[in-house]
C-alpha cells in the first residue's frame, strides 16, 4: 500500500482542494500539519440510557404516495401467496 497522502483536485477550480493522509486526517498541505482529524463514530459514546429513535420519512410527494401504495399491494399479494403455499404444504 502506498503511504503517500491522497490529493483531491477541485475540477471547477483546477487546484488542490484538500490533502488527506493515509489515516484519513486532513492536512494543511502536502507535507503539512494535521488540520482536522478523521471523524470516527464510537458506539461507546452513546449512552445506554438514550434510546435510538429512527423515524421513517413521511411520504410527501405524489410519487412517494404511489410508490407506497404499490409496495403495500405487493406485500399483500405476497402474504396471500405464502399463506396458500403453507396451506397446501400442511
Q: What is the pLDDT of residues 29-81, one digit of tens each?
A: 777 788 888 877 666 666 655 566 666 666 567 888 888 899 999 999 999 98
CB atoms within 10 A of CB 64: 12
pLDDT reported for residue 12: 62
**Residues of the chain by 3-state class (helix, strand, coil), percent to 5:** 35, 20, 50
Amino acid at each position: 500500500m502506498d503511504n503517500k497522502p491522497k490529493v483531491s483536485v477541485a475540477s471547477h477550480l483546477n487546484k488542490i482542494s484538500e490533502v488527506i493522509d493515509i489515516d484519513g486526517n486532513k492536512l494543511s498541505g502536502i507535507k503539512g500539519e494535521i488540520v482536522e482529524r478523521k471523524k470516527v463514530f464510537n458506539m461507546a459514546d452513546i449512552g445506554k440510557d438514550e434510546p435510538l429513535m429512527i423515524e421513517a420519512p413521511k411520504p410527501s410527494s405524489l410519487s412517494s404516495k404511489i410508490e407506497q401504495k404499490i409496495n403495500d399491494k405487493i406485500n399483500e399479494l405476497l402474504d396471500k401467496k405464502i399463506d396458500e403455499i403453507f396451506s397446501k404444504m400442511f
